Amino acid sequence: MKQFLVIDVEADGPCPGLYSMVSLGAVTWDGETFYREFAPISDDWMPQALAVSNISREEHLKYDSPQQSTIELFQWLNEQKKKLDKRPTMWSDNPAFDWQFVNYYLHKYTGANPLGFSARRIGDYYAGTKKQVFRANEWKRMRKTAHTHYPLDDAKGNMEALKLILSKR
């Protein structure tokens, strides 16, 4: 399970390319963390999406170069891969959202995604352990770190819950 890492993304809209990633937080099984902010790659943005991250468009425009932040993410993921001697497995609260931004940015700025072509959803795994598909949100009560929409807090809380779920299996 050491190959597991949790990633959380905040964005200014629902999909990459048309909209931009705001920030990304990641936590490894062993507690290593990674956090970066990304300046917009698009002129389009949704005020209600930025409000979730509690920032203004003016603040977002001052964030780090998306290319540089993505290269640093790529390097960090490759360091994790080297330590493990295998590809890390990405877990997320909502990989349908988070993974698409991670994948898009990694391919756009580095040409590759060290995470491969898939991710795991914590809620689906939890529901499977309960053998009840409609219990996919109950795991969120297992977080110790509050869910704040600051992606490093959210990734930490999600990793705490994932570890607890897995410890009961």
* Residues 3-23: tens digit of each pLDDT: 999 999 999 999 999 999 999
Domain 4-119 -> CATH class: alpha beta
pLDDT given for residue 156 in this prediction: 98
* Residues 134-143: tens digit of each pLDDT: 999 999 999 9
User: H helices within the chain, ranges in order?
Assistant: 47-53, 57-61, 66-84, 95-110, 122-130, 151-167
* Among the listed residues 111, 107, 122, 104, the one whose alpha carbon sits nearest the alpha carbon of residue 7: 122
- Tokens 């809209």 correspond to what residue? 13
Per DSSP (E only), the strands in the chain are 4-11, 21-28, 33-37, 89-92, 120-121
Within 8 A by CB and 6+ apart from 19, the residues are 11, 12, 13, 42, 44, 45, 46, 49
